[in-house]
Structure 1
Amino acid sequence: MKFTFFVSFLLLVTCFATFGQEEQSRKVKKHSSAVVEKGLIKVSVMYPFEEGKTFDMAYYETKHMPMVVGFLGSNLVKYTIEKGLASGIPNTPLPFMAIGTFYVKSLSDYQAAIGPNRDAIRSDFPNYTNISPVIFVSEVVR
């Protein structure tokens, strides 16, 4: 009787330990899949906030960004669109109204795709903003 109880107890403890390890493994996998790959090129197109400036997020999301995405082709891994909400410091102006970000495999392929389409991209600016964007190109380190 004691032996059977002991074996049942060990089995129960082993099941809980295994479940905990599997659950932890799932959490790590879920979290790591959201991480962007090291070595990718990140192109951030930032639209600084300034009194009197405008930005049409709906147009940017449905027209402008899809146009640029079309130029990038298979070099593009993913892209994001961010709408500015607040500064990191209370009671200070919003630093950016919006930021569009492209994650690409190759900087040279990005430049080759954007170069011949630069005029089309720039001529679309007045359709959604009167802000001159600041562009920052970086490499994902982590």
Structure 2
Amino acid sequence: MTSYIVAYPATPGATFDADYYMATHMPLVHATFGPHGLTGSRVLFADQPDAPFVAVTTLDFADAAAFAAATSSPDAAAVFADVANFTTITPTAMRARSA
């Protein structure tokens, strides 16, 4: 399994619409990446005011090839472009593998 972790750093003055993220963005992620091997996701929102991140999402893919296929598909551009619809934060991301 390969995971893609997307973190949204807490940034002074930044906005993040959690309702849009859950109701619109995450369904778009699943609809777009699912056919390429996305097997699941987990979204965590900060539960303290001084947290270093507003939200952290883990996307799980069958393997590295599935991740590459999903993120390089022509439809992936819509997922990345949608970020501007819910936040002014520039996310940080990393790919990880299970031990």
The interval holding the TM-score normalised by the smaller chain is 0.7 to 0.9
Q: Which of 37, 41, 46 is the aligned partner of 2:2?
A: 41
Identity over the aligned pairs, expressed in percent? 29
Q: TM-score, normalised by structure 1?
A: 0.63
Q: Which of 43, 53, 56 is the aligned partner of 1:81?
A: 43
CA-to-aligned-CA distance 1:75-99 (integer Å, 9 cap, x gap): 1221111101238xxxxx3211001
Question: How many residues matched?
Answer: 97
Mind listing any 5+ residue stretches in structure 2 that lack a counterpart?
A: none
Q: Which residue of 2 aligns with 1:140?
A: 98
Are the counterparts in 2 of residues 41 and 105 from structure 1 also a CA contact under 8 Å?
yes
CA-to-aligned-CA distance 1:11-57 (integer Å, 9 cap, x gap): xxxxxxxxxxxxxxxxxxxxxxxxxxxxx111111000011011101
Q: Which of 101, 104, 124 is the aligned partner of 2:61?
A: 104
Q: How big is the shift at 1:132?
A: 0.8
Q: TM-score, normalised by structure 2?
A: 0.87
**Cα distance in 2 for residues equivalent to 1:58 and 1:139:** 29
RMSD: 1.6
Secondary structure in structure 2 of the residue aligned to 1:78? strand
| Larger Rg, first or second structure (1 or 2) | 1
| One-letter amino acid of the structure 2 residue matched with residue 76 of structure 1 | L
Mind listing any 5+ residue stretches in structure 1 that lack a counterpart?
A: 1-39, 88-92
| One-letter amino acid of the structure 2 residue matched with residue 112 of structure 1 | A
> Larger strand proportion, structure 1 or 2?
2
> Which structure 1 residue ranges, 4+ long, deviate > 4 Å from structure 2?
none
